[in-house]
Amino acid sequence: MATGSRPTLSPRASRSGPLRRVSASRRWSSSPVASQFPCAVSRRTDRLGRANYLHGGSILDEAHRRATGAVSGPRTAPAHRGVVRGARWPLFVGIASVVVILDLVTKAWVLAHLEVGRPMPIIGDLLQLSLSHNTGALFGLFRDSAPLFAVVSLAVIGLIVGYEARAGSNWLASVALGLLFGGAIGNLADRIRLGYVVDFVDAGIGTLRWYDFNVADASISCAILLLVALAIWPRLGEPKAALPAGSVPESEGTPAGD
């Protein structure tokens, strides 16, 4: 061996720390003392195994982080999640507020300008404004049950708020729940102050007419359609995953010749 040269380590001698610890545990388990105290061997082997597992796991984690270009350190949640979650409630409240305002304004205009039994044609016989007092539910169903539906509406409003709190980052779900909430508030306001709901939209062909409805009813119907669509396609309205700062999409970062 030449002077000053480094000794060549065999593959066995160049093994990492965790493997050397495993070999130490094997030497301990095969020693004469270990044969007299088998319980001590088991406990020592278990402790060494756990230490090697934890130490080896940390090495693998660090190698994976470096290979994927991630920065070592404590992991933090993506910033876009907090932004989207913070934007849900303004969206929900904004949609509901628009529905309530439109519903109350149109009902006030209808009560001031129309009379029951005297429709106002808009598009001939196809669409007309016709004032009616609905003491039932949506589209005039279950009449003469206004007090019952007032209580049911309060329960439904509470459920809507609860679902919105769990809607996650899906903006389309917040839109649907906002429409549903606004419609429920609009009709509940009528039941509390009038004892009935003001309906005024009359659509149909000849004697084949649809139930009279209002802005709140239309909002509830749209909300139901959106919720059905979300039940069929759950990924509708989900935000796209944001890329980390400074990263490049895979399609852009790969050279054309590779």
Mean pLDDT of 6-21: 50
**What is the number of helices (H) and of strands (E) in the chain?**
8, 4
C-alpha–C-alpha distance, residues 9 and 213, integer Å: 87
Q: What is the pLDDT of residues 92-129, one digit of tens each?
A: 999 999 999 999 999 999 999 998 888 898 998 899 99
**Residue type at position 135:** T
pLDDT, tens digit, 9 for 90 and up, residues 149-158: 778 888 889 9
- Structure confidence at residue 130 as a pLDDT band (50, 70, 90): very high
Tell me the pTM: 0.58
Residues annotated as catalytic are 199, 217
HSE toward the beta carbon, residue 19, CA cutoff 13 A: 6
Structure tokens at 109: 């205009």
More confident residue, 230 or 36: 230
Contacts of 137 (CB under 8 A, 6+ apart): 145, 149
| Cβ atoms within 10 Å of 191's Cβ, excluding its own | 20
**pLDDT tens, position by position, 48-95:** 455 554 444 555 455 445 544 544 444 544 444 444 445 488 999 999
Percent of the chain with pLDDT over 70: 55
Give the C-alpha distances (Å, rounded to integers) separating 27 from 13, 36, 155: 16, 15, 70
- Judged by average pLDDT, the poorest of 68-77, 174-183, 232-241 is 68-77
Cβ atoms within 10 Å of 138's Cβ, excluding its own: 19
Report the mean per-residue pLDDT for the chain.
Answer: 72
Query: Any idea which residue has 């230490």 for tokens?
Result: 51
- Three-class DSSP labels, 33-89: HHHHCHHHHHHHHHHHHHHHHHHHHHHHHHHHHHHCCCCCCCCCCCHHHHHHHHHHH
Please give the C-alpha separations between residue 245 and each of 64, 116, 249, in angstroms, as whole numbers.
19, 63, 11
For residues 41 and 34, is the Cβ–Cβ distance under 8 A? yes
Nearest Cα neighbor of 163 from 241, 240, 94, 92 is 92
Return the closest-CA partner of residue 215 out of 195, 193, 199, 192: 199
Instruction: Give the integer Cα–Cα distance in Å for 220 and 134.
Output: 16
- Residue 43 confidence (pLDDT): 54
The DSSP code for 140 is: G
